Amino acid sequence: MSSEQYRWMLVNDFVDNINEYRTKTFVPGGHLEADESMICWYGVGGSFVDTGIPHYAAIERKPDNEEAIAAAAADEVDDNKDVVADKGGKGTRVFLELVAPWQDSRCLVTADAHFDSVEAAVKMKEMGLHFIGNVKQCSRRFPMEVLGNATLPKQGCRSVLASINDDTGETELVAIAWVNRNHRFFIMTTCGLGKGEMIQCKRLCQLDMSGRAPPEKVIIEVPQPKAIAKYYKGAGPIDRHHRLRANELRLDRNLGTKHWEKRFNIGVLGIICVISANNRTRSCLEFFGRLVDKLIDNQEGIRITRAAADIDAGGDGSADAAKPTGRCGSKDCTKKLIFVCSVCTDATDPAQKQFWFCNPTMVEGSECFAEHVNARHSKVHGEGDN
């Protein structure tokens, strides 16, 4: 077995179980977005490289310098994800694996340049899926020589090329060059060249040319085709997911480890936590805090070995529940408290008072706890002896 195969064995079961659960519980809408999720890793180099820890990589435009990649397919509304570990193959191969469960569903699939290519668009059409993708400069078979040199004088202008089947007259592929601030290129199998939602951009402009007037805020509306508007509508939820995971949850930064498989699994756990926080009434930070408390204090599956005491065992039950004050519960003792009376604590009455006492083994001659037992629980012990 190669070292690469062994490394992926340490994470594959976790990924497979997540995807199996998502398959049973998640029904997507009509628009799916594929994107890569960056899992932060600061490689240490040296001999650790031989054990499979990736090198340090500084990636521009990312929230942090990151390395490992997990591909994710998300619904644009619910932000639910299926996770696929990218084992170094081409983006198209990983992309096909992501969308395979929804073959022939006629869903619209959008993807960024990590997956997008002319080859991916053709495969999506064969699988019975509509496709819109963003293309970078180096995509093969894309007519970059024509669209890259097209003159687009202002924001919102576009240039379009279409591939039409000679036999059927059907439009197979459409390539678009569109300019906002920069030129952007798209490939699609569904023709959506109609007028889409206008983009509203806030800009500072010098409207008053007389004297030294300050610039004013203006709103510039940029037209965009319907297909491109659909693409950016799907990209929004995943970008929001990445920001929450990187800036709010911060598992990648707070839990440091030199083990590659732990780093990857922690990153996938972060994806699950952010998905769970989606569409909650409380803030993400509050949700993450409550989730941590539940995980730490989780008592599910722990067997209770002692039955609850009688409700009358601790007295009349009329006293309010008392919180520990830092001093022994005995009247004349000023030592720090260590122990709590288990009979009083386990009483089923929520108003039952708790009694805390100093440690009799550390405080010489301390009989505080013994006096409490004789005063409040002697009846219980007497009945047990008979």
Q: Which of 183, 182, 184, 164 is nearest to 174 (CA)?
A: 164
Which pLDDT tens digit goes with each residue over 143-174? Answer: 888 888 888 888 889 998 888 888 888 888 99
pLDDT recorded at residue 87? 41
Residues 40, 44, 47, 51, Cα dihedral to 10° = -10
More confident residue, 81 or 127: 127
- Whether residue 245 has pLDDT greater than 60: yes
More confident residue, 228 or 279: 228
More confident residue, 147 or 332: 147
pLDDT recorded at residue 386? 37
Confidence of residue 286 (pLDDT cuts 50, 70, 90): confident
pLDDT recorded at residue 337? 60
- Whether residue 6 has pLDDT greater than 70: yes
How far is it, in rounded angstroms, from Cα 375 to Cα 369?
10
Mean pLDDT of 73-94: 54
pLDDT recorded at residue 254? 74
DSSP run (H or E) holding 97? helix 91-99
> Which range (77-86, 145-154, 256-265) has the least confidence?
77-86
Q: Which of the 8 DSSP states describes residue 326?
A: S
More confident residue, 289 or 41: 289
Cα 264 to chain centroid distance, Å, stands at 13
DSSP run (H or E) holding 25? helix 3-25
pLDDT recorded at residue 50? 55
Residue with tokens 């650790």: 48
Q: Answer for the pair 55, 67: CB distance below 8 angstroms, yes or no.
A: yes
Mean pLDDT of 165-194: 86
Q: Which of the 8 DSSP states describes residue 249?
A: I
pLDDT recorded at residue 82? 54
∠ CA 288-293-294 to the nearest 5 degrees? 95
Mean pLDDT of 105-122: 84
> Which range (92-101, 106-115, 292-301) has the least confidence?
292-301
pTM for the whole structure? 0.60
Strand partners, 38: 69
